[in-house]
Amino acid sequence: MLVGGALPMRFLEAQWPPGVPVQVHATADDPFDDGPEVAAEFRSDVEQAGGVVEAFTYPGSGHLFNDPELPDEFQPAEAEEFYARLLEFIAR
């Protein structure tokens, strides 16, 4: 479960664990968004390792939109949707 986007594995000098699925959650106007090329590279890293990527984009611009301790970023409605998806992902 990744919030605020994802980095390609080359930045971490690592490989995605084989077969591990992931969800990526970010806002449409996240100021730290590195663009579609970076997201595509991350997706490729996961899929080459046999994992599945689910990506969710929420309206707004909070980088850590689910964190109520960050009032400038917190987006309550989107956080609620995020947590519902998190619980569903874990249940699988």
Task: Give the domains, in start order, of the chain with CATH numbers.
Answer: 2-91 (3.40.50.1820)
**Structure confidence by residue, pLDDT tens digits, 48-77:** 999 999 999 999 999 999 999 999 999 999
Kindly give, in sequence order, each residue whose CB lies less than 8 Å from that of residue 62, ignoring residues fewer than 6 positions away: 27, 30, 70, 72, 73, 74, 75, 78
Q: Please give the distance of CA 31 from its chain centroid, rounded to a whole number.
A: 14
| Average pLDDT value for residue range 14-43 | 96
DSSP letter assigned to residue 5 = -
Q: What is the pTM of this model?
A: 0.92
Identify residue 84 by its one-letter amino acid code: A
Q: Sheet holding 53-58: strands in order across?
A: 2-3, 22-27, 53-58
What integer is the mean pLDDT of 10-35? 96
The mean of the pLDDT values for the chain is 96
